[in-house]
Amino acid sequence: MKAIKSFKLTCISVLLAAGLMACDKPGSAEIAGKKIDQTIDEADKKIGETIDKVGEKLNEKSAGTGLAIDDAEISLKVKAAIFAEPGLKSLQIGVDTVKGVVTLSGSVDSLPSSDRAEALASAVAGVKKVENRLVTKQIR
């Protein structure tokens, strides 16, 4: 879990550095903004692919050895599912698992997003129950 957070922080740092470098180059702010957006999209895709690969390896390992899925694996799989879902802001959704009970916390932009996150968590193997404590933000 710490490795994923460190990886995300590293990616964000690289993106910010790339954004600052793009601003130093001559040209319009719009071009720099587009480059930053493109870099963020590419990094987001690569992070998602990495999380998917980790989730697949965990599935293979669990299935191959017949071991029970532990809480850390469940949390990782739920986070990967939420991260891969278009429209969900994964950085604002916390996932905690204790004895197969997943607790979702944080904030989302709408009730359908909250329901979707809960459905994704429920679909993960080993999840016994989902406690949805997500708060819907007021958009003004």
pLDDT at position 134 is 92
Asked if residues 95 and 102 have their Cβ atoms less than 8 Å apart, the reply is yes
2-24 and 29-65 helices cross at what angle (nearest 10)?
160
What is the CATH topology of the domain spanning 69-140? Histidine-containing Protein; Chain: A; (3.30.1340)
- Using 50 as the pLDDT threshold, list the residues of the chain that sit under it: 65-68
pLDDT at position 40 is 77
pLDDT at position 53 is 75
The burial class, CB within 10 Å (0-12 / 13-18 / 19+), for 10 is exposed
The structure tokens listed for 71 are 């809480």
List of residues 6+ apart from 37 with CB closer than 8 A? none
Distance CA 128, CA 51 (A): 22
Which residue's structure tokens are 């891969």?
Answer: 84
Global pTM exceeds 0.75 = no
Distance CA 121, CA 74 (A): 9
Within 10 Å of residue 86's Cβ, how many Cβ atoms? Answer: 4
pLDDT at position 42 is 79
Q: Which residue type, as a one-letter code, is found at position 44?
A: D
